[in-house]
Copies of this chain bind each other. A is one copy, B any other.
Amino acid sequence: MGIQERKEKQKLEIRKLILDASMQLFVEEGFSNVTIRRIAEIIEYSPTTIYLYFKDKDEIFYALHDIGFQKMQELNKDLVTINNPLLRLHKMGENYLEFGMSNPEFYNLMFVQEEPMKKITELGCDWNEGDAAISRLKETVTECMEKGYIGKGDAHLVSLSMWSFVHGLVSLAISERMEKFVPQKEMVMSVMKQSLNWLINNIEARPAVQDIKK
């Protein structure tokens, strides 16, 4: 049915309108300023119309959380061109830092706020976006181990560790805590990158004990 189709399409368009408005609001004015009424104002509908397209506010945020992951993955497209897996790992980390710092509100939604996770457990489904991201990381970590760039071990554990590290940096930075330990606010990003350098240096494979002169 042609008409059914067009309706379907219109429905999606309004959904997109709502999401765009929400995005605009929370990128420009932050999380707490995304209200149903302000979204409605922007899209020029009445507030309650929004509930015809999203069950509740959390569903809007969950959709934004998804969009965030798409944005993040775009940033990682050029990674495949890096052959050296350790270099690639390093670059992945830097991209992560970069993404978080340039999209703090998205980052919050994706990795800090509890609401999106609640939605997932509510629906009883998996965190597909997170799973995909971590398994990409794990691939590179595994390659690093196989080719001897980093010490062999549990690739899953090491991936989670790497993630925790960069997440720690970003979340301390965007919650305005990291800057308390840095001379100027503008240096936060630089310190974060140095921090990542330090870690990468430290996990680089070391010679086996028996190869050390006594």
Q: A residues touching B (Cβ–Cβ < 8 Å)? A: 111-114, 117-118, 121, 126-127, 130-131, 134, 151, 153-154, 156-158, 160-161, 163-169, 171-172, 175-178, 180-181, 191, 194-195, 198-199, 202-203, 206-207, 211-213
User: Lowest 7 A-B CB distances belong to which pairs?
Assistant: A168-B168, A164-B168, A167-B168, A117-B176, A161-B195, A206-B206, A164-B169
B172, A111: Cβ atoms closer than 8 Å: yes
B206, A175: Cβ atoms closer than 8 Å: no
Q: Can you give 21 contacting A-B residue pairs, CB < 8 Å?
A: A112-B112, A112-B175, A113-B175, A114-B175, A117-B177, A127-B177, A130-B177, A131-B180, A153-B198, A154-B194, A157-B194, A157-B195, A157-B198, A158-B198, A160-B191, A161-B199, A164-B165, A164-B169, A164-B195, A168-B168, A206-B207
**Most chain B Cβ neighbours within 10 Å, of A131, A151, A168, A206:** A168
Please name all residues of chain B whose beta carbon is closer than 8 Å to the beta carbon of A153 when the two chains form the complex: 198
Tell me whether chain A's interface is mostly helix, strand or loop, or mixed: helix
Give the distance to chain B from A179, nearest Cβ to Cβ, in Å.
9
- A202-B202, A206-B206, A206-B207 provided; 15 other pairs, C-beta below 8 A? A111-B172, A113-B175, A114-B176, A117-B175, A121-B176, A131-B180, A154-B194, A157-B195, A164-B168, A165-B168, A167-B168, A167-B171, A171-B171, A207-B207, A212-B212
Give the distance to chain B from A26, nearest Cβ to Cβ, in Å.
14
The 8 Å CB contact of A181, one of B160, B169, B176, B195, is B160
A180 to B172, CA, bound (A): 22
Give the distance to chain B from A101, nearest Cβ to Cβ, in Å.
14
Give the distance to chain B from A122, nearest Cβ to Cβ, in Å.
12
A171, B112: Cβ atoms closer than 8 Å: yes
B202, A151: Cβ atoms closer than 8 Å: yes
